[in-house]
Chains A and B, each alone.
Chain A
């Protein structure tokens, strides 16, 4: 079993919808990262968090340390949000989830 599990694997939404991507992990961590990967491979770090909640524009990330669970929310989704979203945790090294492929249709 992967130490970092993401759900769903694939997600298709209509423009404007509220989107939630979930991440559960089974190891102790010092921080959790949400990453965005566009076709072609480039990865952008969206959030790094170790507690609570962070917000950046239409993106919100939350983490519950006790439940070992994090969520990434996208409000008012847009086709340009289409990408693979990856959850990763710091545990001396980085452990990655398999990613959630999001497609937002106009």
Chain B
């Protein structure tokens, strides 16, 4: 079985542009979470989707949005890019969600490295 896949692997954008990152979960997994990892720091939670509904949102501005499709794949959109958005964006999938006490092992994708110039 394929693991979590993300595309693209690397991306260079300029300030003010918009970007869409994509994630395909492990087959059978219904939950997808997005994380931002700035160089030298631990990941920070952005969003979690379970069964196509947003189940959690981290402390990120409204420029960040996401959605989950019927096949459980997901997109993360970032508008009006800032230099500070440069980071590794990680997607993780799991069978069940994170909220409400539900816990499950998270399987991480390789990440998309976004550079904003």
Q: Interface of A with B (CB < 8 Å)?
A: 4, 30-31, 33, 35, 40-45, 48, 50, 86, 88, 90, 92-99
CB distance from B41 to the nearest CB of A (A): 6
Is B103 touching A97 in the complex (CB atoms < 8 A)?
Answer: no
Whether B42 and A99, one on each chain, are in contact in the complex, defined by CB atoms closer than 8 angstroms, is yes
Residues of B within 8 A of A42 (CB): 108, 110-111
Chain B residues within 8 Å of A, Cβ to Cβ: 33, 35, 37, 41-45, 48, 56, 58, 88, 90, 92, 98-108, 110-111, 113
Q: In the complex the two chains form, is A93's CB within 8 Å of B101's CB?
A: no
* Docked complex Cα distance between A16 and B9 (Å): 35
Least CB distance, B36 to chain A, in whole angstroms? 11
Give the residue name and chain of the A residue nearest to B59 (CB): A93
Check B105–A48 contact: CB distance below 8 A.
Answer: yes
Question: Which residues does chain A contribute within 8 Å of B101, judged by CB atoms?
Answer: 30
- A43: chain B residues at CB < 8 Å are 43, 90, 92, 108, 111
**With A86-B42, A99-B42 as given contacts, are A94 and B33 in contact (CB-CB < 8 Å)?**
yes
Show 21 residue pairs from A and B whose CB-CB distance is below 8 angstroms, ordered by the A residue: A30-B101, A31-B103, A33-B105, A33-B106, A41-B37, A41-B90, A41-B110, A42-B110, A48-B103, A48-B104, A48-B105, A88-B43, A93-B58, A94-B33, A94-B106, A96-B35, A96-B42, A96-B44, A97-B42, A98-B41, A99-B41
Q: Are B103 and A50 in contact (CB under 8 A)?
A: yes
Cβ 8 A contact of A45, one of B42, B43, B105: B105
Query: In chain B, what residue has the closest Cβ to A47?
Result: B105
Q: Chain B contacts of A95 at CB under 8 A?
A: 45
The complex places the Cα of A9 from the Cα of B87 at a distance, in Å, of: 20
User: Is B98 a contact of A93 with CB atoms below 8 Å?
Assistant: yes
Q: B109 to chain A: closest CB distance in Å?
A: 8
In the complex, what residues of B have CB within 8 A of residue A99's CB?
41-42
Contact (Cβ within 8 A) A41 B88: yes
Q: Is the CB of A86 within 8 A of B111?
A: no
